[in-house]
């Protein structure tokens, strides 16, 4: 499943160290998930913290991909998460793809751990309550969701990491194995969530698992028609099903 190439109703565009970032108005829906816990200005702090956490997550993917030679690279924040889109060079093998997939959550987890360590050392004791809401929300969106994002369920980072890892050993069977493991892991997490009476988590994981099933089917090899190319034109080579040109992240929000 490929990420959205562009949105018409963007509310913000800015460069982040050379990587273009676009923010769709629907990202503000994040605020709705803070209303059950926070109120007033705290909701704004929650939304800002999730924005920073998701942007940091996507930056991990984007800058790692760019470091491996991928270009162009862009980030879009939308709905309740974001997507990093990058064009893969021919030299980008499954090992590097594995690292790119892992980098987003790794950055969020590292940032969350740093905030916790600094908090335990008392560096934030003098901050106002609103700042504590921001830091608490940031840790939840970065650290907790980063760990959950490594569960081997497509299209989560963990599912992509599993598939790219398998591609290094059984490239022809990697997509099929990853899809089966994704379904099993998804059903297991749904069962655990239902047992714990976490209905929202169960529904969310069910949606993610269904997305992964569709993604796995979309990446099956399809016959490619031979293009008619003018001799003076040099188009980009068609994307290979085993080497998708884009990296897509699922909704990156605390659940």
Give the pLDDT of residue 215: 65
pLDDT bracket for residue 117 (50, 70, 90): very high
Give the pLDDT of residue 29: 87
At residue 61, does pLDDT exceed 70?
yes
pLDDT bracket for residue 211 (50, 70, 90): confident
Distances (CA, A) of 103 to 35, 106, 113, 162: 30, 5, 15, 14
What phi and psi, each to the nearest 5 degrees, are found at residue 105? -65, -35
Give the pLDDT of residue 78: 87
pTM: 0.80
Give the pLDDT of residue 39: 86
At residue 115, does pLDDT exceed 60?
yes
Q: Residues 158-191: pLDDT tens digits?
A: 999 999 999 999 999 999 999 999 999 999 999 9
At residue 217, does pLDDT exceed 90?
no
pLDDT bracket for residue 238 (50, 70, 90): very low
| Ramachandran bin of 10, using left for φ above 0, alpha for ψ from -120 to 50, beta for the remaining angles | beta
């Amino acid at each position: 499943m490929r990420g959205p190439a562009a949105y018409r109703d963007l509310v913000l565009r800015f460069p982040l160290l050379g990587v273009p970032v676009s923010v769709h108005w629907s990202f503000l829906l994040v605020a709705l998930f803070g209303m059950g816990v926070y109120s007033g200005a705290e909701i704004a702090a929650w939304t800002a913290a999730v924005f920073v956490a998701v942007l940091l997550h996507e930056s991990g993917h984007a800058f790692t991909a760019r470091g491996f030679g991928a270009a162009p690279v862009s980030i879009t924040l939308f709905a309740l998460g974001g997507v990093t889109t990058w064009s893969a060079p021919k030299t980008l093998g499954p090992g590097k793809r594995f690292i790119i997939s892992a980098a987003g959550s790794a950055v969020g987890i590292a940032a969350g751990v740093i905030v916790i360590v600094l908090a335990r050392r008392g560096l934030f004791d003098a901050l106002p309550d609103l700042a504590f809401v921001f830091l608490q929300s940031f840790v939840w969106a970065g650290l907790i969701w980063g760990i959950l994002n490594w569960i081997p369920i497509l299209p989560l980072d963990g599912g992509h990491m599993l598939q790219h890892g398998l591609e290094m050993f059984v490239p022809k069977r990697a997509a099929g194995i990853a899809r089966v493991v994704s379904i099993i892991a998804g059903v297991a997490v749904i069962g655990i969530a239902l047992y714990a009476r976490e209905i929202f988590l169960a529904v969310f994981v069910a949606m993610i698992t269904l997305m992964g099933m569709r993604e796995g089917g979309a990446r099956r090899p399809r016959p490619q028609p031979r293009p008619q190319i003018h001799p003076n034109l040099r188009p980009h080579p068609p994307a290979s099903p085993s080497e998708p040109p884009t990296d897509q992240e699922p909704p990156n929000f605390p659940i």
